[in-house]
Amino acid sequence: DQQVKQNSPSLSVQEGRISILNCDYTNSMFDYFLWYKKYPAEGPTFLISISSIKDKNEDGRFTVFLNKSAKHLSLHIVPSQPGDSAVYFCAASASQFYFGTGTSLTVIP
């Protein structure tokens, strides 16, 4: 049973526009949420995180929003760049880590 879900397998966005990647979770005990980026044939790399006591965290072009009542988090990338094309995983932590299935983002030049 998937505790962290990413319902959109893929997303295409024009360069310069905003990319919004979504993630839903079921376990209210999760206290920390992260986003990872993965290029083909490489391991995931940490992108940005948010604690459950916050509702927003920003780092340059990347912003993560957390809506605890809806058990939903999103990653906003603005402006999107071709180098952002990758698979993005959300992850949540209680006593251990649970990952979503990933969303493949394509930024079109």
The binding site for another protein (CB under 8 A) comprises 2, 4, 6, 32, 34, 36, 41-46, 49, 51, 89, 91, 93, 96-102
State the nearest-atom distance from the C-beta of 17 to another protein, in Å: 26
State the nearest-atom distance from the C-beta of 73 to another protein, in Å: 14
Please say which residue, 41 or 70, places its beta carbon nearer to another protein: 41
Dihedral sign, CA of 20, 40, 27, 62?
negative
Please say which residue, 3 or 15, places its beta carbon nearer to another protein: 3
State the nearest-atom distance from the C-beta of 69 to another protein, in Å: 22
The phi-psi region of residue 53 (left if phi > 0; otherwise alpha if psi is between -120 and 50; otherwise beta) is alpha
Please say which residue, 60 or 109, places its beta carbon nearer to another protein: 60
State the nearest-atom distance from the C-beta of 32 to another protein, in Å: 5
**Contact indicator for 47, 62 with CB cutoff of 8 Å:** yes
**Contact indicator for 106, 15 with CB cutoff of 8 Å:** no
Take residue 106 and report the two structure tokens written for it.
Answer: 């394509």
Instruction: Write out the H or E segment, with its range, that includes residue 66.
Output: strand 62-67
